Structure 1
Amino acid sequence: MKGSSHPSNDVSLNTSENQSIHDIIDQVEPTRRRFIKGAASSSMLAAAGGVTMSGILNTVEAAPIPAGTGQQVGIGFESIAADTLPVADVVRVPDGYTAELLVAWGDPITPAGAAFESSATQDADAQEEQYGAHTDGMHFFPFTSRGKALSDRGVLCANNEYTQEEILHPDGLVGASGYGIAKCRKSQAAHGISILEVRKLAGKWQVVKDSPYGRRLTANTPMIFSGPAAGHDLLKFNDYDITPSGSVKTGTTDGFKVYGTQNNCANGFTPWGTYLTCEENWNGYFGSTTGSVPSAASGETGKLYNRYGVTASGFGYLWHTADERFDVSKNPNEPNAFGWVVEVDPFNPESVPVKRTALGRFKHESAQHVVDAANNVALYMGDDERNEYIYKFVCSGKYNATNRAANLNLLDSGTLYVAKFNSDLTGQWIPLLPGTLGSNGIALRNNPNFSGANDAEVLAKILIKARMAADAVGATMMDRPEWTAARPRLNGYGKIEVYCTLTNNNRRGSSASPTSNATDGSTTAGSARPAVDAANPRANNIYGHIIRWQENADTVLATGFTWNIFAQCGDSVTTKTPYAQYSGDIVDNPAGSADIGAPDGLWFDWFGRLWVQTDQIGDGSGDWINIGANSLSCADPNTKEFRRFLTGPNKCEVTGITMTPDGKTLFVGIQHPGEESTAANPTQFSNWPASQWSFASDGVTPLPGGRPRSGVVVITRNDGGVIGA
């Protein structure tokens, strides 16, 4: 996910001829965090007024909304109207629901946190104690009491994907004072993850500002590598003493030590109660003070830069001009520090985050876990760039529901697979292992990109260069695979059914002479111009689609699957031609009442409803004149019917979603409202959330305006019922 200040992945980010621990997660005191074994149908859980923790965690392997006739069974609200031009600067929800602000960029989340100042004059030290910028994926981890998961108190982990420098600093990115280490450090501090305790008091959700659980993980937080690639030479970088005044080189890391996480987009969580944050457009934070980077023909580093989109100028953040750590001319391996799934223990503030290398390195967009009937664990992941791939990681060990400690390193050992979608609606999971044959008949261990002294080194290179390995084995190039979601297996439904949003691809079918990612891994990131295919059937796919698949034999160990397209998004009253290419096939009633485009966030609630969030320009202009603002919709996986539940403020992205165990509180992220405003006029396009509310979530603190702020809204039903029911 990203906005215009953080270039979207349907625009080339590269110069080319083409246009465009081990023991680091400590076990938490078991009476507060124990996961209760059990299961129940959604009707039983609703009648009981709550669910067990294992019920929450196991629903991601679970259940269709029961089939019905006429009305959309299980979804009890009517679609709200599209918010078209001029887009209102508010969050809108259906009648009978209330949306309130929970937290916004700059709000204090730790005991040392200071209140947000709308002047944007607070520094990096202040930002490290405050909620970060540009909310994205999130998950609610409930506290437990007497074996029951609470629905009024928990820890919320939320990604802070990127920053809009024009509103982060009083004078913008450069301004009169120029760009220096102070601005760089504040920007780095606004990235990462916010971990905050939230609690419902006197009927209102609030942040517990003095909570011992509150903390920030930023682009400079110490972390470690684990898994097969840890310790490899490609993961050894310059070591630095990171200070407010600069990064001072002190030596070289050992391939296990690493600093920071950034561009944290979507997310996941594990059955053992840890948070997974996914590093997406990390490449844009690097640059070169020499004005150039090694070419693809110059050797291993240049080829990696080319395939992953590392350029001399990056996205224009200028970190490399103030912080040597991000200057590839001085620290060439540092880009390899990013592109991973990071595991975090939300309840242990002393724990060290772990970058799990077994899950591969790419532009990670979500990590959806599934536990099958035999307790095998898999994670499903997308690589968010045009023409990239869908992956599955299967753990070698099994999930142990009664021994949390036994699960803490499950993500360090297993097999990474990449998907191939066939035209007959079948597919294969191709293992990315040393002995796997590439499409040229040569085993990956004999491919020059992955050659090593032994298969352990070969595997490490395969994981660090996962994109290139997927190229070599002939995986299916997809239209920006983003969030994945697993359909709950409730009410006796036993299929393992996984969905993935394919946001868009304006290069699909754009050339009379189509090109594919080269099998030697030499293709510039996002530059291929593939032909349409069965899984990506539309040329110039500006509105995107949602694909789904079922694993053979209902096990995550399957190497084969069947698939179909759940929905082709689009504008059913568009005047664009050819009409069939842009109108889509969204099922709604009346027709056209729930059209969406650029599907991105994707999530199943505990009761089997599918929620879909969108990421487009968000102001109702151009191709979005009828679709309007970005939105959150609910869909029935049986009938495919969509209903629009929420629309966001002007020029925002709606992203990040999670729910309390009882299903009665929904948390939703609002990212970059009013994007593209200038430092001279921060509220040019939006003043949200001050445009909608006068006070913070405590009902007392005045809500400052003066610049738009990303944040999290909390949605409840006025009658106290389950959201969406």
Structure 2
Amino acid sequence: MSQSTPLDSEDLPTNTSSNEHFQSVVNRAVSRRGFFKTGLGLSAAAFMSGGLSGCIIEVNPKPPAGPLLGFTAIPTSTDDSVAVAPGYTATVFAPWGTPLFSTGPGSTWASDASDDAAAQARQVGDNHDGIHYFALNGSKEGLLVMNHEYVNTRHLFADGVSNSADDAYKAIHAHGVSVIHIKLRSGKWEIVIDSQYNRRITGDTPMLITGPAAGDALMKTSADASGTLVRGTLNNCGNGYTPWGTYLTCEENFNQYFGTRSGSDTRTTAQKRYGVSGQTTGYGWEQYIDRFDYAKEPNESNRFGWIVEIDPFDRHSTPKKRTALGRIKHENAAYTLTPDNHVVVYMGDDQANDYIYKFVSDGVYTKGNDRANANLLDSGKLYVARFNDGSTTGDFMGNGEWILLDKTANATLAADARFASQAEVLIHTRLAADAVGATKMDRPEWVTVHPSTGEVYATLTNNSGRSVTDDANPRTANRYGQIVRWRETGGDAAALTFEWDIFVLAGNPNVYPDRSNLKSGSDNVTVDNTFNSPDGLAFDDAGRLWIQTDGNYSNSGEYAGQGNNQMLCADPTTKEIRRFFTGPKECEITGVTFTPDSKTMFINIQHPGEGGNSNWPEGGSARPRSATIIITKNDGGVIGT
């Protein structure tokens, strides 16, 4: 995901371990299996045809009567506007600063960005990201819950700079989550102002720390001797949800808020591994708020980098940071169920050369008994993935294994003096994954699970700094990214082994038309659907794979002809990919959710004009604002048909 400061970009690895990189595994798999350069070898039908009779997915797939992709593809765009496939309408909704209450601070929005911190705490936050629709009355009324990842300082403040404590708190309040009660009235979605459900959860909202790391010495601060109470959630990137009706917000690049004004770099090895700044930060909160100065509060940053569970139906509930799922730069959280109803959550750590994880709950999900499920995410097993090039069935490229990150059960961690307890394994998840030999990946972002087959897909958005050049991947850097997918052994999401394949290797045939050069992408990438940096990823109920990009939008050089960031849709069986939507200048397309009838889609436009060259959505000389887009089909049909 994009960031407002260049410090510790996701493209800059902090992983100094000698663990093998995924590209090396791919190279051996290609050599061993003899895959041809342009196609990556695997028959899509073969991949999708495996038996998964034991898999249980908590959805009701609705296969279409006709082709899976029923819309007409659209071309790339460099306009400062949005475009959607013919026969569809895209409507701007709930931009940054939208009031949720009719009275009090924030009841109106100041278009010159002069609103203060108190106002921002009651308005829709900035830089919309992950999003989910929770039904109240089917597809006509519900709660739209969305993340706000970070802030664009040049737009958030009237003078374009942050230079006071109130400015710092305004930025803190622009982070977090918005819970918005929405209702369909006369064919138009509206916010129910003053609803009992409307709520802002910010970087200063009281929260509980739960699970194995709660109360550990590394979680205690001068303000919280218990190690169980924390203020706020930050850098809320992708999201997830649970079958018992809660929202999961994922803390990603939390490191960028922590630095020091001490003048000395006294960071620990762990703080460096997580990318905490050795000096001051771009945001500068440490100047006004001691908890963001690691020299004054060395443990405060340990209280961020978690998945936070929120009950959207209870405005008075306390969000909970679920430490059993590990502390990383969480991109999103994709759940599924095992055949015996254990909850599995897949997660990516979004930084160059970091890892893919999964969590398997100790307890089982009880349908219809939300109280019984309330703490399922507090106890379970956390695993990290190792991808191998070993033998497989059919035409898979390789196999893999899930390595348990457990202080007692894993001999490597048991013998490692850096981890005194399981709490420390979870607080320093990255270091534990380094120690056990996990596979380095090209910035793992969103993960999603196919609604009927149970196969898992993950975006590896790019790794432009990697210098591998070989027959399998002649790119001097992975500028374009790819989507990897795997099938768990026996169709059981709790399995300890899997087989993997690359679904699509993104590229640019506009610049590299020679199909023997993988800079052009795999065979299902053409001049008509070219894209780079796949990021957001989600299946709909019918099994369409929606791909969103957050990449280079220069439309020049290596990226010529690729235009603004976009959303595409893929058929997992045929591998066909079509462009469905394009965004305004300098934006990211992110987050996707549907109403239960699949006739309304909600996505987000993040950081339009991050380089200062957009006035979307109002146009003219207006300040750019992140916003949600509501997409409907003009004939009232299902999205994607």
1:721 aligned residue (616, 622, 637): 637
- 1:268-667 maps to which residues of 2 (within 5 A)? 268-295=240-267, 302-313=268-279, 315-424=281-390, 425-437=398-410, 443-451=412-420, 458-489=421-452, 495-510=453-468, 539-575=476-512, 580-585=517-522, 587=524, 591-667=526-602
Cα pair distance change 1:586/1:104, threshold 3 Å: farther
Distance 2:192 2:8 in 1: 35
Contact persistence 1:105–1:710 (CA under 8 A)? yes
Distance 1:91 1:186 in 2: 29
Cα pair distance change 1:532/1:655, threshold 3 Å: farther
Contact persistence 1:273–1:345 (CA under 8 A)? yes
Partner of 1:194: 178
Which amino acid is the alignment partner of residue 263 of structure 2?
G
- 1:116 is displaced (CA, Å) by 1.5
- 1:64 is displaced (CA, Å) by 9.6
Distance 2:248 2:436 in 1: 27
Contact persistence 2:474–2:517 (CA under 8 A)? no
- 1:623 is displaced (CA, Å) by 2.7
- 1:594 is displaced (CA, Å) by 0.8
Partner of 2:616: 688
Contact persistence 1:373–1:555 (CA under 8 A)? yes
Cα pair distance change 1:428/1:481, threshold 3 Å: same
Which amino acid is the alignment partner of residue 583 of structure 1?
S
Distance 2:464 2:501 in 1: 22
Counterpart of 1:272 in 2: which secondary structure? coil
Distance 1:722 1:253 in 2: 52
Partner of 2:53: none
Counterpart of 2:629 in 1: which secondary structure? strand
| Residues 94-119 of structure 1: CA deviation (Å, up to 9, x unaligned) | 11110111110000123444221111
Partner of 2:623: 707
Counterpart of 1:646 in 2: which secondary structure? strand
- 1:619 is displaced (CA, Å) by 4.2
Cα pair distance change 1:504/1:380, threshold 3 Å: same
Which amino acid is the alignment partner of residue 380 of structure 1?
Y
Contact persistence 2:4–2:152 (CA under 8 A)? no
Distance 1:466 1:587 in 2: 36
- 1:621 is displaced (CA, Å) by 3.5
Matched, 1:122 2:80: no
Cα pair distance change 1:184/1:532, threshold 3 Å: farther
Contact persistence 1:586–1:642 (CA under 8 A)? no
Distance 1:124 1:411 in 2: 33
Distance 2:281 2:498 in 1: 38
Cα pair distance change 1:565/1:575, threshold 3 Å: closer
1:136 aligned residue (123, 129, 135): 129
Paired positions, count? 593
Distance 2:153 2:9 in 1: 19
Cα pair distance change 1:444/1:15, threshold 3 Å: closer
Counterpart of 2:331 in 1: which secondary structure? strand
- 1:620 is displaced (CA, Å) by 2.3
Distance 1:15 1:412 in 2: 28
Cα pair distance change 1:111/1:412, threshold 3 Å: farther
Which amino acid is the alignment partner of residue 183 of structure 2?
R
Identity of aligned residues (%): 46
Contact persistence 2:534–2:550 (CA under 8 A)? yes
Which amino acid is the alignment partner of residue 305 of structure 1?
Q
Contact persistence 1:275–1:344 (CA under 8 A)? yes
- 1:443 is displaced (CA, Å) by 2.8
Cα pair distance change 1:476/1:90, threshold 3 Å: same
Counterpart of 1:507 in 2: which secondary structure? coil
Which amino acid is the alignment partner of residue 191 of structure 1?
H
Contact persistence 2:260–2:295 (CA under 8 A)? yes
Counterpart of 2:140 in 1: which secondary structure? strand
- 1:581 is displaced (CA, Å) by 3.7
- 1:562 is displaced (CA, Å) by 0.8
- 1:8 is displaced (CA, Å) by 7.6
Which amino acid is the alignment partner of residue 529 of structure 2?
A
Contact persistence 2:604–2:628 (CA under 8 A)? yes
Matched, 1:262 2:234: yes
- 1:209 is displaced (CA, Å) by 1.6
Distance 1:217 1:533 in 2: 49
Structure 1 unpaired stretches of 5+: 17-57, 145-149, 240-251, 296-301, 452-457, 490-494, 511-530, 678-684, 693-704
2:94 aligned residue (94, 100, 103): 103
| Residues 459-495 of structure 1: CA deviation (Å, up to 9, x unaligned) | 1111001101111111110000000000011xxxxx3
Counterpart of 1:443 in 2: which secondary structure? helix
Contact persistence 1:219–1:261 (CA under 8 A)? yes
Matched, 1:93 2:84: yes
Partner of 1:29: none
Partner of 1:676: 611
| Residues 404-451 of structure 1: CA deviation (Å, up to 9, x unaligned) | 1100100001000000111131110111011344xxxx5312202102
Distance 2:269 2:491 in 1: 39
- 1:237 is displaced (CA, Å) by 1.4
| Residues 589-634 of structure 1: CA deviation (Å, up to 9, x unaligned) | xx32111110000001111111000001334244322111100001
Distance 1:376 1:328 in 2: 38
Cα pair distance change 1:291/1:233, threshold 3 Å: same
- 1:714 is displaced (CA, Å) by 0.4
| Residues 198-257 of structure 1: CA deviation (Å, up to 9, x unaligned) | 111111111112211111111110001110111100001121xxxxxxxxxxxx431111
Contact persistence 1:586–1:595 (CA under 8 A)? no
Distance 1:360 1:719 in 2: 45
Cα pair distance change 1:578/1:587, threshold 3 Å: closer
| Residues 265-292 of structure 1: CA deviation (Å, up to 9, x unaligned) | 0000000000000000000011101133
Distance 2:101 2:522 in 1: 47
Which amino acid is the alignment partner of residue 593 of structure 1?
D
State TM-score, norm by structure 2.
0.89
- 1:402 is displaced (CA, Å) by 2.3
Which amino acid is the alignment partner of residue 434 of structure 1?
K
Contact persistence 1:108–1:115 (CA under 8 A)? yes
State TM-score, norm by structure 1.
0.79
| Residues 185-208 of structure 1: CA deviation (Å, up to 9, x unaligned) | 100010111111111111111111
Cα pair distance change 1:349/1:359, threshold 3 Å: same
Cα pair distance change 1:688/1:663, threshold 3 Å: same
Contact persistence 2:412–2:435 (CA under 8 A)? no
Distance 1:119 1:550 in 2: 51
| Residues 61-108 of structure 1: CA deviation (Å, up to 9, x unaligned) | 676968x9xxx821111110011xxx2111100111101111100001
- 1:378 is displaced (CA, Å) by 0.1
